[in-house]
Copies of this chain bind each other. A is one copy, B any other.
Amino acid sequence: MSMRRTPRGSEEARLPTGFRAAGCAAGIKPDGAPDMALLVSDVPAAVAGVFTTNQVQAAPVRLDRERLAGGCARAVIVNSGIANACTGPAGLRDARRTARLAARALGVPESTVFVCSTGSIGRPLPMDRIAGGIARLVPALAEDGGEAASAAIMTTDTRPKRWTVRTRVAGRPVTVCGLAKGAGMIEPNMATMLAFLTTDADVPPRVLQRLLRSAVEATFNRITVDGDRSTNDTVLFLANGLAGGGALGPSSRGWPAFRDAVFETADQLAWMIVRDGEGATKAVTIRVGGARSNAEADRAARSVANSLLVKTAWAGTRPNWGRVMDALGYARARVEEGKVSIRFDGLPAVRAGRAGPADPAALEAVVARPEFTVDIRLGLGRGEAVVRTCNCTEDYVRINR
């Protein structure tokens, strides 16, 4: 989350050279909304992936982990509506069969097809509809199909999440494009979150994996909507090299520009996920400084970011810094009440553990904003961390009941 510089990209899905995508309604969702997407690279692409740390892992996650070892991807087939999680060996067979059907329709090796699912846990995939969806997706593949694909992966998202950065890497035009879905069950490491990054840069799988891991750590793993970590979280990154210019690595001349484009894309998508958190009306950045270590700063920030009392306070307009103090006090991080200071968008709400000089009405005006930052100083060391969260409204409960 170091990125807060002016973004260079834009909120659109302009796929890099050699990528095509499509979305369709395959009848998995009862309401007839789009529920299947396909993303294809015309040539074999290097692939990297980061997956949920939940011990209960959906069948497609287990399949993709296995396939990642090959380092090569041609396609990603995605369905929304059903997560294919807690479905046992039959679920794994369904995931494999989904990949096989897509591979055959595309004429690519089965081992290069990745599968993602998101939706309800515990229900089997309706394989006839999956097959029908694939039959419709393949002929619909198009260079401008990113928008349709990003719409088809939504669940409780209210809007699709897309970001594209077009940059120059060592003189050649390179595109990084990301599509994501989020909304609920969002907690670092990671979320009911699917994200697909694509680029036409040429990056070897191992380099791509390290880059993706560090980008996820700085972005997707620093957001929280409800503290629940899903069974299906997957971030995949495909690099097909069609921009030319030779393989990139950390010592390449063009690396900083490329790395920035990737971090910006991940950061923008992560921020969109928080802003579109289920029922959320406010996106809040929690910064903690002065902790004994970065790890303690992180725990303190997450304790505040996940406190239900803090998040519901911000459903109204009361800053309720007392609840922030309370959440800091039970974080697994050293906190000395008398050394804590808290600012809301710069206004001193707490100084030395007590009510600060900020005018209560001015503080309420900050909390009424759709985005604000809470800056917490612990006064104990140099550890720092940033976590992004959203408020918790009645709508969150309504959506999830």
Contacts and interface: CB of A to CB of B under 8 A. Distances in A.
Contacts of A122: 321-322, 325, 350, 354-355
Given A229-B326, A231-B326, A354 B392 contact: no
A372 interface: no
Interface of A: 53-57, 83, 85-88, 120-123, 184-185, 187, 226-231, 307-309, 312-313, 315-316, 318, 321-323, 325-330, 334-338, 350, 352-355, 392-394, 396-398, 400-401
Contact of A322 (B121, B315, B322): B121
A325 B323 CA distance: 30
Given A56-B353, A185-B309, A228-B309, 13 more contacts: A53-B330, A57-B337, A83-B322, A88-B338, A121-B326, A122-B321, A228-B308, A229-B326, A229-B329, A308-B392, A312-B397, A312-B401, A313-B401
Contacts of A230: 326
Contacts of A400: 308-309, 312-313, 315
A308 B306 CA distance: 10
Contact of A354 (B86, B184, B309, B329): B86
A53 B401 CA distance: 32
A322 B88 contact: no
A229 B308 CA distance: 11
Interface of A is mostly: loop
Which of A53, A120, A231 neighbours the largest number of chain B CB atoms within 10 Å of its CB?
Answer: A231
Contacts of A308: 226-228, 308, 392, 396, 400
B354 A87 contact: yes
A234 B228 CA distance: 30
B316 A85 contact: no
A53 B335 CA distance: 12
Which of A85, A313, A397 neighbours the largest number of chain B CB atoms within 10 Å of its CB?
Answer: A397
A309 B54 contact: no
A323 to B, nearest CB: 7
A326 B56 contact: yes
A325 B121 contact: yes
23 contacts: A55-B330, A55-B337, A83-B322, A86-B337, A86-B353, A86-B354, A86-B355, A88-B353, A122-B354, A228-B309, A228-B326, A228-B330, A229-B329, A229-B330, A230-B326, A231-B322, A231-B325, A231-B326, A308-B308, A309-B400, A312-B396, A312-B397, A393-B397
